[in-house]
Chain A
Amino acid sequence: MTKKKATKKKATTKKKASTKKKAAKKVAKKTIKKKKVSAHKIKPGMVFEYDAAPESSAVVNIKPKYDLFIGNEWVKPESGKYINNENPATTESLGKFAVGNDKDVDKAVKAARKAYDGEWGKMSGKDRGKYLFRIARILQERAREFAVLETLDGGKPIKESRDVDIPLAAAHFFYNAGWADKLEYVYPGKDVKSIGVCGQIIPWNFPLLMAAWKIAPALACGNTIVLKPAEQTPLTALLLAEVCQEAGLPAGVVNIVTGEGPTGAALVAHKDVNKIAFTGSTDIGKLIAKNVARTNKKLTLELGGKSANIVFADAAIDQAIEGVINGIFFNQGHVCCAGSRLLVEESIHDVFVKKLKKRMSTLRVGDPMDKNTDIGAINHKEQFDKIKEMVAAAKKEGCDFYQPEVKVPRKGYYHAPCFFDNCSTSDSIVRDEVFGPVLSIMTFRTPEEAVAKANDTQYGLAAGVWSEKGSKVHQVAGALKAGIIWANTYNKFDPTSPFGGYKESGFGREGGRHGLLPYLEVK
């Protein structure tokens, strides 16, 4: 039957064609034209309009007001002061949180000292470990809640907080938990012991993850802590306080004092704090170092960076493109180890930049709560302004600017990804840390030149090397002055892998066996 119908149709068409040839030709042409257009539309690499795929915020319960967490209790601040917390994606309020002053810090340090001299200090490593395992498990159970809260508070894409920040934070507790009763294996041939009360100050780019990096090893080693979260992103640290309560952690082991710069300064200056651990900008890090220089307080600093991502002509180009994109645009570029200086071998510069532009045009900038979003909101207004300022300055310096056209939400702080090409080593965009989705591009001809340019910075946190030639990768990795080298990959993190920099990127390591050393005294 079908055959018959088909033949019939054919016959009719032929008949019609023979009678109205001209008209038919026109129609046929139109159809072909239409077909061509639709074929063009489905070319690979084209951007489709995605439907919104928002994550629900119903899972979190943001309180109108947060107090300080001292000695396992919620304590009103001595200052009586609370400040507003803002969602950078919408500029809507996320409630208020307390501003701790020096009296609050003193209370927290006393609570930490009491726990160190008492229950926690006397506890077996085995039991300390079990508490940390508990925390890890609760974090895993409540992961969705943490992820949503992290994204609301800091503007990072939900897919990143869901797939990176929160699972890694839990993994850090889990990894360090197991060390608590095995500290005799940390330093071969040496006895080690805990330090005491540790003051920890963390940044806003990975709020919960940084808290985990700081708290987990400190506790595993038998110390007690006072944590000061960043004033831009206090919520997940405060939820972590709830987790500590839920885990039954003894009072005073973890104390969380929110506040601004002066709160952190009070913690650094407190006489009964044995160690300060800070992650943040090099400027603040140097200030802290100055404040403790005339004391015997121990200090670890994880500071800024201007990491080079070196792409050789013999690299797997498409993989390198993905690595460069991830290296600089992950977490809106708010990453201390961001690959913010692309060094590309001269012979492949043009094709590489072309591919890079194409890939950048497919990045989705917008609502961080949308599961399809690649680049969310800039963490807070001050940083947003700073990025714009630095971009404007670089334009004036004459570097070639590129930014794909993207639509961003009207409200909130959004900065489309961009790069500056044909930069020279003296340009500000090459020398200064932007901490935003801004890449600078330079070229090189030989591995020696690449290494020299990569090392030409006061920082030394991380670097990337892209080449399919193993011997070259290892040679370059060896010559780079940086604490982490990502070879044919970038921005990978793991609790077992030490993280930390050379030179002005700070000192001390976090993660792995090396990450325990800053929280131990070697006898």
Chain B
Amino acid sequence: MSNLKVIKTVKLFIGGEFPRTESGRTYSFNVKGTNDQYARLCQASRKDFRNSVENSRKAQPGWASRTAYNRSQILYRMAEMTEGKRVEFVDLFKNALGKSETEANLMVDEAIDTFVYYSGFCDKYQQVMGAVNPVAGPFHNFTTPEATGVVTLIDADEFNFAKLVDSISAIITGGNSVVALLGKGCPAVLAPLAEVFKTSDLPGGIINLLTGDLDEIKGFIGNHMEVRAISFQNEREDVYFEMKADAIDNMKRMIPRRDKTRSLDLILDFVEAKTVWHPIGQ
């Protein structure tokens, strides 16, 4: 008896839900190097982007005010859920990208280790980069890192699963929320990855994942007044400089492509140092 395969339609991940694009447009994601369709994806519009930012902005203060311990456990849960979905990720990397079983497993291993790495940092970066400052006067003075706010991530087109997980984790570790536009390399990763986030006790809206065309929505990201920072990990230098110029409107923090992963400074790209003074005396 033959069994007809069910082809998956990948939807967007906005505000903890899985909506189709409001524009109703989809595009075909093909198996690497072929014309064989792997999956049909949503082509996010600028309105989808704006909806994501709106959700992201609403959710962010709640996430930032969670205890560091709680954020840490949620990131660790992501590692656990990725492990639980290992077969699905491996299948995707094998079937869509032509990776070997070993390569695909290694990719998942790296991503899991990345979640674990940042999970451990949620309650430590404040101690490492905070300070009690010895001011010359009777004041208690301390500096703590605080979340910047809503961050937009422009993912690389060359797919690197661990790097994508790294970029997202670094942003949310510091109490920020993120709207990520996935790169062209393997946008279909949205489906299993969003399910990981959906089932990790992460509040809806903290991570939003979009698939679509960077060229189409690039002009609406840099000048969005609710976006506080952009992590630009894509290879397109022209778009980077364009967005950097747009970002000046509300003085967005523009973070260029980083070659490193699992690093303290990647978290600190998305925090602001707040210094509090208080007199000591009677």
Contacts and interface: CB of A to CB of B under 8 A. Distances in A.
Contact of A289 (B137, B251, B263): B251
B106 interface: no
Interface in B220-273: 228, 241, 244-245, 247-251, 253, 256, 263-265, 272-273
A459 to B, nearest CB: 10
B230 to A, nearest CB: 12
A504 B251 contact: yes
Interface of A: 171, 187-190, 285-286, 289-290, 293-294, 296, 301, 303, 458, 473, 477, 482-489, 492, 494, 496-500, 502-507, 509, 512-514, 522
Interface in B101-154: 128-129, 131, 133-137, 139, 141, 143, 148
B279 A514 contact: no
26 contacts: A189-B264, A286-B249, A290-B245, A293-B247, A293-B248, A482-B274, A483-B274, A485-B274, A485-B275, A485-B276, A485-B277, A486-B277, A487-B276, A487-B278, A488-B278, A494-B137, A494-B141, A496-B135, A496-B136, A497-B141, A497-B275, A498-B131, A498-B275, A503-B251, A512-B275, A522-B265
Contacts of B279: 488-489
Given A188-B264, A485-B276, A485-B277, A497 B135 contact: yes
A494 B135 contact: yes
Nearest to A292: B244
Given A190-B264, A293-B245, A509 B251 contact: no
Interface of B: 128-129, 131, 133-137, 139, 141, 143, 148, 228, 241, 244-245, 247-251, 253, 256, 263-265, 272-279
A87 to B, nearest CB: 31
Contacts of B277: 484-487, 489, 492, 497
Q: Which of A296, A485, A494, A506 has its CB near the most chain B CB atoms (within 10 A)?
A: A494
A488 B253 CA distance: 31
B133 A492 contact: no
Given A483-B275, A488-B279, A503-B228, A289 B248 contact: yes
Given A483-B273, A494-B135, A301 B251 contact: yes
Given A503-B251, A512-B131, A498 B265 contact: no
Given A293-B241, A485-B274, 14 more contacts: A294-B241, A301-B251, A303-B251, A485-B276, A492-B277, A494-B141, A498-B275, A503-B250, A504-B250, A504-B251, A507-B253, A512-B133, A512-B275, A514-B143
Contact of A514 (B241, B248, B273): B273
A198 to B, nearest CB: 19
Contact of A492 (B131, B135, B248, B249): B135
A140 B249 CA distance: 41
Contacts of A522: 265
Q: Which of A294, A458, A482, A500 has its CB near the most chain B CB atoms (within 10 A)?
A: A294
B201 to A, nearest CB: 23
B143 A498 contact: yes
A296 B133 CA distance: 32
Contacts of B250: 458, 503-504
Nearest to B249: A286
B94 to A, nearest CB: 36
Contacts of A483: 272-275
Contacts of B264: 187-190
A496 B245 contact: no
A505 B24 CA distance: 40
A286 B275 contact: no
Contact of B143 (A487, A502, A504, A512): A512
Contacts of B253: 507
A171 B136 CA distance: 10
Contacts of B244: 293-294
Nearest to B245: A293
Nearest to A504: B251
Contacts of A484: 274-277
A174 to B, nearest CB: 10
Contacts of B137: 492, 494
A337 to B, nearest CB: 11
In the complex, the 9 A-B pairs of residues with the closest C-beta atoms, listed nearest first:
A494-B135, A293-B245, A496-B133, A487-B278, A289-B248, A485-B276, A504-B251, A294-B241, A293-B244
Contact of A513 (B131, B245, B274): B131
Contacts of B273: 483, 498, 500, 509, 514
B144 to A, nearest CB: 9
Nearest to B136: A494
A504 B225 CA distance: 11
A120 B241 CA distance: 33
B272 to A, nearest CB: 5
Contacts of A496: 133-136, 141
